[in-house]
Amino acid sequence: RNLGTARRCGMGWYRQTGALVKHRALRGRIAYLHDRDGERGREWFSISVQHDGTRTLRAQCEMDDEDLLRDVTYTVDGSWRPLDAFVRLTRAQRFVGSAWFRFDDQGAECESWTASEGRLSQRVALSQRPRVFAPHPLVGDGWQAAAYDFSAGPGRQRLWPCTNSSPRHDGGSGPAIGVVQKDLEYVGDETLTVAAGTFRVRHMRIHHLMPWMAAWTPLEFWVTPEDCMLVRMRWDTLSSTYDLVELEGVPR
């Protein structure tokens, strides 16, 4: 058969210069559900996982109440360490900013153009490659679970350094490099049913430690054990739950 066009169980096959290149693929949609107003946004995503564990997220995030549209591409290596990313923002059909990010063992760099500040070049020196990067798609927030040392069992661990593309809870500024500190908590394993199906999940919490985040409640989320695929998130600060409602492929 023609392996160049075959598709099966979320796996893609591609024939390139005589070699067979494989990757796993996941695609889906997350609904942003406010306690009072119902669906106020949504996120479409696709994830490709290569044979060495390198994975790339592509996400389109829509927030109706803030008229915000975010497009993101973000890649991590086989150890879930940030490699590079691109973020573009528009609000009310107007350009806010776009940026390219790159990470290495000495820190992070960014080249951006924003409507408010024009051209910005950043290089932030750090003692090590950032533990996580948060470009603000919720699927990417779920990936932060991979920074936890699960051999220690349930508990709370400090993450430093952590980076993001915006300090706002909606990720609607910049984009530019921000550096923060947070605690990651592993509550335990559960089984969770959402519109996309029933999943075995790890229950996690992010505790925000920066002074200007003092009013933020912990961010509670549930991910699959191996792929850290977000199944649900709950944030009381925004009175909102975020559920996986569509899925193509089988997360591990």
The pair of structure tokens assigned to 97 is: 């900013």
Instruction: Give the Cα separation of 44 and 56 in Å (integer).
Output: 14
Residue 144, classed as helix, strand or coil, is helix
Which segments within the chain are labelled E, that is strand? 7-8, 11-16, 19-34, 38-50, 55-63, 68-76, 82-91, 94-104, 107-114, 118-125, 132-134, 155-164, 178-194, 197-208, 219-223, 230-235, 240-248
Question: Do the Cβ atoms of 144 and 206 come closer than 8 Å?
Answer: yes
**Total count of residues recorded for the chain:** 252
- Per-residue tens of pLDDT for the chain, all 252 residues: 222 333 333 444 444 445 555 889 999 999 999 999 999 999 999 999 999 999 999 999 999 989 999 999 999 999 999 999 999 999 999 999 999 999 999 999 999 999 999 999 999 999 999 999 999 999 999 999 999 999 999 999 999 999 999 999 888 999 999 999 999 999 999 999 999 999 999 999 999 888 877 788 999 999 999 999 999 999 999 999 999 999 999 999
Question: Cα–Cα distance between 82 and 48 in angstroms, integer?
Answer: 15
Predicted TM-score (pTM) above 0.75: yes
* Tokens, residue 125: 């020196």
Whether 40 contacts 240, CB under 8 Å: yes
Helix intervals (H) in 19-156 = 138-143
> Which residue type, as a one-letter code, is found at position 1?
R
Are the C-beta atoms of residues 189 and 201 closer than 8 Å to each other? Answer: yes
Strand runs (DSSP E) across 135-177, as ranges? 155-164
CA–CA gap between residue 171 and residue 204 (Å, rounded): 21
Largest CA distance in the chain: 60
For residues 186 and 188, give the distance between their C-alpha atoms in angstroms, rounded to a whole number: 6
* Residues 6 or more apart in contact with residue 250 via CB below 8 angstroms: 9, 10
pLDDT for the residue 210: 83
Region of 78 (left: φ > 0; alpha: ψ -120 to 50; beta: rest) is: alpha
